[in-house]
Structure 1
C-alpha cells in the first residue's frame, strides 16, 4: 500500500514568482521508493548528487536530506549559474580585503556560511573548470582558503549538488572533471520527471488547487471547494509535462482562474500545443509510463517520441504537415521577419522564402527587399494547423 508525503518550502506563500517547483509529493510507487533512498542517504555524511530535469523539485530533495540529517547548522542554496566567472570564486570560498578591485572588506563565502549545516549547489554543471578544481580540493581536505589568503579554514559542511544535465556526457566532452564527478556522485539520486511518476500527478494537482483556491474568489462554490471533473483528470494524466511540477502548478493556477461553478474541466487547461500526449494516447485512455531508457530527457528526445507516434499512425501528408508546422512556428516566433526566421532555422533567406511560398505564407510577387515580407500575404493559421498544412 502506497503512502503519501508532501514536501514544500517553508516560505512557499512568498514564492509567487519563483521558477522552482514548490511542492514534491511521494504517492507513486516509484516516488515512495525514491523517498526511502533519500532518507537512507540523509543519515550518512556522503556528498549527494541529485539528477533531474528542471522543475522536478531537486532543491526540495536537498532540503529534506538536510532535515533528516540532524545537522544543527543552516541549509543554504546557491545556483552556480547565477554568478559570473569573475565573482563565483569569491562567492563560494570568500575573500580577504584587497583580494580584487572593490574588495573593501573581508567576506566569508557560502561554504563558511553553511558551516555545521548543508550547502546545496544547484546547476553544478555550470561551474567553470577552474572552480571545479578548487571545489574538489575543498571536498577532499574539508577546508577552504579565501581568495587573497593562505590560511585554511576548517569546514564541517554537507554538500548536496544538483544538475539537470548528463554529467557523464559533460565529462566525455571535457566540460566537467571526471574526478569531481566521481567525488560528487558517491550517493547519486535520480529524480524522475513527472511523466515518469504519474501516480503523483493528481495528488499534486489537488494540492495546488487547495493552495490557490484560498486566494481566489469562487462565489458560492468557495465554501464547497473546487473539484476536478473526470475528463480533467484524464487530461492531466495524458499530458507529458515537459515543465514538470512547475508547469503543473501553472496549469492548475490558470484553470482555477477560468473555471466555472467550482468545477475544473479539461477545457480549462492551457497546455502547450507542441507537446505530445504520453505514448500518443488520447485523454481517457489508460496511461502507462514509458520504459526508463525511452523516456524523453530533452526537447529533441520529446520531439523524436512525438514523431515516432505520428509515424506509427501513418497519417497522410505527414512530411508537409511537420514542415509546415515548423516553418509557421518559426515565422510567427520572429514576428514575420524573414531574416530572423532564417537565422532561427539555420537556413538561407532564399531557402526560407521558398518554404514560405510553399506553405502559403508569402506571395510569389512579394518584394525581396521587405524583411517582413509575408505580413500582407494570405492569412496564416496562428497555431500552424495541421489540417491547413496538409492541403498545400
Structure 2
C-alpha cells in the first residue's frame, strides 16, 4: 500500500523550534514533511496540495487550531489531524476530536508517543486510500459482495460480465469459502433474468428422496404426510436462475433426473402425471474435481458437459493475498454497521500475520475472523491479540521427518504435514520440500494426497 501513496505530513505550530524538532523526527521515519508557523499560510498550501496528516497546534495567531481544523475537514475530509495542546487546554482538544481530529497530544511532547500516534493515523489514512481504490476498481462492475482487485479476480469479473447476458448453463469450481454463490448471484443479477427469482439449493444436504421432493415438488397424496400440493424449487424459479451448490454430492439416480430436466425443459411433480414446462437457467457449483469423478464413474459424463458450458474457476484466497486488506476493510464496514461498533483498522502486525496465513477456509474464514474481532473489540483497532489462537500460533516450519517408520510412509506423512501447514499450496509445499511441482504432484497422486 505504502508504495502507491507518498505520505505527506504538515506541521502547523507558531514555535519554530517545535516545528524543526518534529520535522526531524518524522523525516527519520521516512515521511515527507512541511512546516508552517501560522494557519493562514498552511491553508493556502492545503487548498492546492492536500496533506494526508496534519500536526496542528491548538493555539495559533489569527486563526486558532479549531478554526483551521474546520477548514481542513472542509477541504479534504480524508485528511487526519493530530492536535497539539498544553495541559490547560485539554477541553478544547477533546472538542477538536468531536470535530473530526484523529487524536490529541499534550506538551511537552513525548517522542515515542508521538511516533506511535502518527503511525496509527497513517494506518487509517492508508486504509481509506485502499478502500477508495477498491471502489474505483469495482465501480464498472457494480458487484457489491465480490471484493478484490487482483489480476485473478479481474479475470473473474470479466468472465461474469461476458457470460451473464448469454442464457447458458455455468459450472463454478473452487474450494470451500471462495465465494461460488456470490459469483452465481452476480451472474444472475447482471443477466436478463435479474427480475425473476434466484433459487439456491445445496445438493449435499438431503437424501435422494428429499432432493426429488424439494426440486420437483409433489402432489397431494403422493406419499404419507403429503397433505397438500407443494411446488418444487425448480418450478418456483421459473423465468429465473437455479443455483445447485455441491453438485458433486448429488446421487447418480438424481443426476439422471436432472439431465432429463435440462434436456426436456420440463418436470413432473412427485406423484403427478402432468408435465410442467420450465424456463430456467442452471448454475452449478462444486469444490470437487468433477472430471475425475466422471473418470471414476461417480458423476455422469453427459450431465457434466450439459452443466459445464462455461467454466469459472475461483482462486483460493492464498493465491490472491493482495486482496486481503481490501476484504478486511469490506468486512470491517459490514460488521461495524451490524454490531454498532467503530473499529477503523487492523494493525500492521495483525495484517502481516493474516498475510502469512494460508486460509484453508478462504474468504469465509477471513470473514469469520473479522466478524469475531469486531464483535469482541472495545477499541478502534484490531491487533494481533484479537486474532484466533490457531492463527496467532500458525507458522510454516520445515522439520526433519520422523525416523521411526518405513521410508515411503515417512515421506507420505511428511508431505501431508507440509501440505496442511501451507493450506495445500503446492507451490509453497514444493519449495519447502525442495521438489519440482511436477514431482510433488506425482508423489501426491502416488500417496493419495
- Structure 2-normalised TM-score? 0.56
| Cα distance, 1:99 vs structure 2 | 2.0
| Cα distance, 1:110 vs structure 2 | 0.9
Match of 1:158 among 281, 300, 304: 281
> Contact (CA 8 Å) 2:173, 2:285: kept in 1 or not?
yes
Match of 2:380 among 262, 265, 278: 262
The answer for unaligned runs of 5 or more in structure 1 is: 9-22, 281-295, 313-392
Instruction: Find the residue that maps to 1:162 and give its secondary structure.
Output: strand
> Contact (CA 8 Å) 2:203, 2:247: kept in 1 or not?
yes
> How far apart, in 2, do the equivalents of 1:189 and 1:278 lie?
31
Q: How many residues align?
A: 278
In the alignment, which residue of structure 1 is the partner of 2:324? 201
> What are the Cα deviations for residues 290-333 of structure 1, in whole angstroms up to 9, with x where unaligned?
xxxxxx9x969846857656555xxxxxxxxxxxxxxxxxxxxx
Counterpart check, 1:242 vs 2:365? no
| Cα distance, 1:177 vs structure 2 | 0.6
Instruction: Find the residue that maps to 1:82 and give its secondary structure.
Output: coil
Alignment of 1:48-197 (within 5 A): 48-71=170-193, 72-197=195-320
Match of 2:162 among 34, 40, 46: 40
> How far apart, in 1, do the equivalents of 2:331 and 2:377 lie?
15
> What are the Cα deviations for residues 314-369 of structure 1, in whole angstroms up to 9, with x where unaligned?
xxxxxxxxxxxxxxxxxxxxxxxxxxxxxxxxxxxxxxxxxxxxxxxxxxxxxxxx
Q: Which has the higher helix share?
A: 2
Instruction: Find the residue that maps to 2:231 and give its secondary structure.
Output: coil
The answer for unaligned runs of 5 or more in structure 2 is: 1-132, 399-416, 435-449
Q: For structure 1, which segment, 225-234 or 150-159, has the greater mean C-alpha deviation from structure 2 after superposition?
A: 225-234
> How far apart, in 1, do the equivalents of 2:364 and 2:234 lie?
29
* Greater relative contact order, per chain length (Cα 8 Å cut-off, separation 6+): 1
> How far apart, in 2, do the equivalents of 1:179 and 1:279 lie?
45
> How far apart, in 1, do the equivalents of 2:424 and 2:242 lie?
36
Match of 1:231 among 345, 349, 359: 349
Instruction: Find the residue that maps to 1:26 and give its secondary structure.
Output: coil
| Cα distance, 1:91 vs structure 2 | 1.2
> How far apart, in 2, do the equivalents of 1:207 and 1:57 lie?
14
> What are the Cα deviations for residues 156-186 of structure 1, in whole angstroms up to 9, with x where unaligned?
1011111111111211221111110111000
| Cα distance, 1:256 vs structure 2 | 3.1
